[in-house]
Structure 1
Amino acid sequence: MLGEHGRRRAGAGDEFWQYRPAHAGDGLRLVDWRRSARSDTHFVREREWQAAQSVTFWVDDARSMAFSGARDRAPKADRARLLALALSVLLVRAGERVGLAAPDMAPRAGQVQLMRMAARLCDDGASDYGAPDATGLPAHARAVFLSDFLGDLGPVEGALTAAADRGVKGALVMVLDPVEEAFPFDGRTIFESMGGALRHETLRAGDLRGRYLQRLAERKDRLEELARLTGWRFTCHHTGDPAMGALMWLHQALDRVRA
């Protein structure tokens, strides 16, 4: 499948790769006569193999992604899905293949694939916090993980390590609601996970703000470090900000980590 991404080997493409001595069976039309005239050997001009890239998306569908700190603001899940689909549309228009991190959603090209992805992204998960799965990522491809990353970071580290072992690079996008970033709580407050599994009541919520912000900053630093160590890129996006900025960042990030 012809594309713009060089594979560092001879094959179908538009860019010059190398000259090689002609072999028995090579047609006369393959011989580069200008290069051959400078020696006693006939040479064939080879082009670099170019093929479309595959980009796999993991969009966290856990219950924590259903949170919104304001009635007029969409939940984190909606923003993550929007970014994944918008970027997929841009990639498909550029001739790339896109898919989801699921056994039956391997990267493919075309509008039909976009419709299949949109339908699958409408499903919600049952767990409080999500964990990416990198077992089905195509080798030497690219990937995008979109989540609030508020659960255990152990599975995230394992997925990034597994992806790096397969030569996969990509981008991590931490999607947070502005309330989760600012922690504007004070006085008597009940904190409860979206699934109801975790619950904490306090009479002095303001006293927790400093420790909460410190732990959130440490989590971001850890994600950025994991991305750096595995050749990925990391950013944090807030649902109160326009989606266009995150979309442009993602598009540029994938180009910079091209395999």
Structure 2
Amino acid sequence: MTDLGLRKNSHRLERVDAEMLSSSLPALMLQAEKLVNGFDPGTHGRRKSGVGEDFWQFKSYEQSDPSSSIDWRQSAKRDQLFIRQNELETPESVWFWCDNSPGMAFSSKNAIPSKLFQSRVLTLATALLLMKGSENFAYIGGLQKASQGPVSFERFTENLLRLDSKDLATLTTGLRLPKKARVVLVSDFLYPQEQLQKFFNILQQTENRGLLVQINDPAEIGFPFKGRILFKGMNGPLSALFGRSENIRDEYLEKFQAHQNFLKQAARKLQWDYLGHNTENPMSEPLSSIFFSLQRKTK
């Protein structure tokens, strides 16, 4: 499938949410913190005994167990010594990638932030939630190991906003991920299927689990165009002029749906989750879906 980034008329060409992205971090952080505010994800137990707040099970007391762990109330009920075990809360390594290709700068309406802006907000908001939960996180290609805390978040933000941040092509050639990590890839994924398949084959070899988050503008999803319109691709010189653009709507929607089905099938094969987000909709729902997808325990 070729690039589906759409631009109506030449005056919209290369519009990049100038005010939002020029101020960059303040605007992004304001939106990310707004999303996180009031969202209570809880803590993430790993279903092993250890230091934690959530009860897991009672276990018969053994000589190797410290006497301080004996639950005297439970022991009195059963006339036998029992210890109380809580869930071990262990930080999980989560790695992010946010597509920075030209097509991500697209927005069909002034009132709708670009795909790039929203993908960055969702990425920052998820990292903030992980930081609050003492989880390890990192940005793919950022040269830092996964870690936790405010300093790590600051480095994460710097890597996210780098102008030379990797697009899918450069990411494919140098992908390095640790074992047993969770991965969050945020993009419109409007790349040729051959290129995507090559990337998915590499992901298959890493044996990591993760989430594909597809971000699309409502014009890309619904194709509301009518009349004579010149469409220009934002990732290259591709252009097409249609006298009656509404005549190609059905064919376009069919191909767009087929591309989404391809992504969903690829995610299932990887044993990953797939999430689609329309930039016209609130970001609170995809944030919740991303976070709780990461909290599901690996097999």
TM-score bracket, normalised by the shorter chain, equals 0.7 to 0.9
Separation in structure 2 between the aligned mates of residue 250 and residue 158 of structure 1, nearest angstrom: 23
In the alignment, what sits opposite 1:97?
Answer: 136
Matched, 1:202 2:242: yes
Q: Which amino acid in structure 2 is aligned with residue 162 of structure 1? A: Q
Please tell me the residue identity of whatever aligns with 2:156. Answer: M
Deviates more, 1:184-193 or 1:233-242: 184-193
Over aligned residue pairs, what C-alpha RMSD do you find?
3.2
Q: Where do 1:153-232 residues align within 5 Å?
A: 153-163=196-206, 165=207, 168-232=208-272
Distance 1:128 1:50 in 2: 34
TM-score by length of 1: 0.78
- Which residues of 2 match residues 139-154 of structure 1 at below 5 A? 139-152=179-192, 153-154=196-197
CA offset digits 1:167-198 (Å, max 9, x no partner) = x1111110000111111122222111224422
Shift of the alpha carbon at 1:204? 2.6
Equivalent of 1:61 in 100, 103, 112: 100
User: Which amino acid in structure 1 is aligned with residue 126 of structure 2?
Assistant: L
Is 2:131–2:149's contact at 8 Å kept on the other side of the alignment? Answer: yes
Residue identity in the other structure for 1:237 = H
Which has the larger displacement, 188-197 or 58-67? 188-197
1:59 Cα offset (Å)? 0.6
**CA shift at 1:143, angstroms?**
1.0
Letter of the aligned partner of 1:77 in structure 2?
L
Bigger mean CA offset, 233-242 vs 198-207: 198-207
Instruction: Answer whether contact 2:142 2:159 (CA < 8 A) is retained.
Output: no
Distance 1:128 1:173, change over 3 A: closer
In the alignment of these two chains, the number of paired residues is 241
Counterpart Cα distance in 1 of 2:297 and 2:169: 25
For 2:58 and 2:164, locate their aligned partners in 1 and report how far apart those are by CA, in whole Å: 47
CA distance in 2, matches of 1:27, 1:158: 47
Q: How does 1:11-22 map to 2 (within 5 A)?
A: 13=51
* Aligned twin of 1:112: 151
**Counterpart selection for 1:78 from 93, 113, 117:** 117
Instruction: Give the whole-Å Cα distance in 1 for the aligned partners of 2:167 and 2:209.
Output: 27
Amino acid at match of 2:118: R
Give me the whole-angstrom Cα distance separating, in 2, the residues matched to 1:210 and 1:131: 33
Query: Larger RCO: Structure 1 or Structure 2 (Cα < 8 Å, ≥ 6 residues apart)?
Result: 2
Instruction: Please list every run of 5 or more consecutive structure 1 residues that lacks an aligned counterpart in the other structure.
Output: 39-44
Report % sequence identity.
27
When the two structures are superposed, what TM-score results if normalisation uses the length of structure 2?
0.68
**1:122 pairs with 2:169:** no
Residue number in structure 1 paired with 2:11 = none
Judged with a 3 Å threshold, the aligned counterparts in structure 2 of structure 1 residues 182 and 28 are, in CA distance, closer, same or farther, namely closer
Structure 2: how far apart are the matches of 1:131 and 1:216? 24
Asked if the contact 1:144/1:170 (under 8 Å) is kept, the reply is yes
The answer for unaligned runs of 5 or more in structure 2 is 1-42
Query: d(CA) in 2 for partners of 1:219 and 1:131?
Result: 22
